[in-house]
């Protein structure tokens, strides 16, 4: 997803994230606690690239 956000920011388009989960599951072979931290970092990195609004439902 970050590649798309980079492209949109370069094109002067806006991007927003709406998170409906903490993201602690879903990566095969990585423990949930580590996945949660990876997902959080990914969202933080995306926001630094040009995401104007980041909201979490959890």
Confidence of residue 49 (pLDDT cuts 50, 70, 90): low
Domain ranges of the chain: 2-56
Confidence of residue 42 (pLDDT cuts 50, 70, 90): confident
d(CA 3, CA 23): 19
The per-residue pLDDT for 28 is 82
How do residues 1-39 score in pLDDT, each as one tens digit? 567 777 887 888 877 777 777 666 777 888 877 887 787
The per-residue pLDDT for 54 is 67
The per-residue pLDDT for 53 is 65
> Taking a C-beta distance cutoff of 8 angstroms, is the pair 8, 50 a contact?
yes
Q: Which residues lie below 8 Å from residue 52, measured CB to CB, with a gap of 6+?
A: 14, 15, 16
> Taking a C-beta distance cutoff of 8 angstroms, is the pair 5, 44 a contact?
no
């Amino acid at each position: 997803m970050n590649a798309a956000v980079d492209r949109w920011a370069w094109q002067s388009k806006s991007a927003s994230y709406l998170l409906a989960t903490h993201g602690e599951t879903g990566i095969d072979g990585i423990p949930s606690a580590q996945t949660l931290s990876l997902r959080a970092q990914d969202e933080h990195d995306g926001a630094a690239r040009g995401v104007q609004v980041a909201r979490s439902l959890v």
